[in-house]
Amino acid sequence: MEFKVCFCTDKGLVKQVNQDAIMVKVAGTSQYGKVLMGVLCDGMGGLSQGEVASSDLVAAFATWFEKGLPAALSGKNKTERLDNESEGEQADVRAEIQYQWTELINDVNKRLGAFGRANGAKLGTTVVAILFIGDEFIAVNVGDSRIYMLKDKEKTQITHDQSVVQSLIDKGVMTRDEAEESPQRSVLLQCVGASETVKPQFIFGEVAPNTSAILCSDGFWRKLTEEEFTDGLDILPDVTEDDMQKKLDEILELIKSKGEKDNISAIQIYAY
C-alpha cells in the first residue's frame, strides 16, 4: 500500500504554548512492503507541563518504530495469537504489537507520574496512534483525541472517547448536543501520566484502497460540522500531497475563525 500524508498543528487563539505533539514514520519491509505509523498526543490543557507529557509519549513511539516494530515483525513474539483458531503470521504480529504498545503506554504513564511527583506537577496526555501494515491497520486510543476513517465522504469514528461526557452519552443521560455545551466536556476518564493505571482501547481492521485516516485532537474535531469535515477532507485518487495540505490548512483557519481556544492538531493519511 502507498500513502500520502499531510498534517497541521497550531496553538490556537488563546494558549501561549502548543501542548500537542504529532509524528509520522514510514519504513519499507520485506514482508509487508511499506508500513506507516501516525501518532498524535494532546497534552492536557488544564494540567501543567502538558507539552512535556505529549512529546515524551511521541518520542517513545518513535523509538518503538525503530526498535520494537522490527522485533514484532521478526517473529520473536512474546504473546500468543489473539484468535487461537487463526493461522498465519499476521495474527501473531497483531498480538505482539498490542502487547508492546500496552507496555509502552504504561511505562510512559509510570515515568510521567514519577516525574510529576518529583517536580510538584501533574501532567498528562491523550494519545491516538495508527499503524498501517499490509492491508490492515492497528490503532490505539487513550483519552478524547480521535481517529476517523473517511472514504467517499463517509466518515466513521473508530475510536471511542474516554471522557465523562461520552460516558454519560453511553448511559443515555446526556445528548451529544448537551455534551458540546457541558462544562465537563474536557474532563477525561483516563490519560497517560495523570491516571493511576491506563487501559488503552485497541482497534483492528482492514484498509480499503483510497481511504483516509484522520488523527485529530479535540481542538480540531470539536467545532467542525459533518459537512465541513467530510467535504474539506475528502480525497480524490489523483490528489497531490500539496493539495491535501492546502485543504487541511483551510480547515485549520476555519476552526480558528470559529473561535477555538484549544490547541489544534491533525494528521491525514491517505492510503491507496
* pLDDT 10s digits, 8-36: 999 999 998 999 999 999 999 998 999 99
Lowest mean per-residue pLDDT among 46-50, 123-127, 133-137 = 46-50
Between CA 170 and CA 180 the distance in angstroms is 15
Rounded CA gap, 23 and 7, in Å? 9
Least confident of 85-99, 102-116, 254-268: 85-99
DSSP state of 171: T
Write the pLDDT tens digit of every residue in 140-192.
Answer: 999 999 999 999 999 999 999 999 999 999 999 998 888 877 888 879 999 99
* Cα gap 96→66, rounded to integer Å: 15
Residues linked to residue 5 through DSSP beta bridges, in sequence order: 269
Instruction: Residue 183: count other Cβ atoms within 10 Å of its Cβ.
Output: 7
Per-residue pLDDT, 41: 98
Instruction: Give me 266's grid cell.
Output: 491533525
Predicted local confidence at residue 80, as pLDDT = 45
Q: What per-residue confidence (pLDDT) applies to 92? A: 86
**124-146 average pLDDT score:** 97
Alpha-helix residue ranges (DSSP H) falling in 74-156 = 89-119
- In this structure, how many other beta carbons lie within 10 angstroms of the beta carbon of residue 30? 6
**Whether residue 79 has pLDDT greater than 90:** no
Q: Whole-angstrom Cα distance, residue 27 to residue 9?
A: 23
State the chain's mean pLDDT as an integer: 91
Q: What is the pLDDT of residue 91?
A: 62
CATH superfamily entry for domain 3-271:
PPM-type phosphatase domain (3.60.40.10)
> CA 203, 111, 201 angle in degrees (round to 5)?
10
Distance from C-alpha of 51 to C-alpha of 133, rounded to nearest angstrom: 29
Report which of residues 86 and 244 the model is more confident about: 244
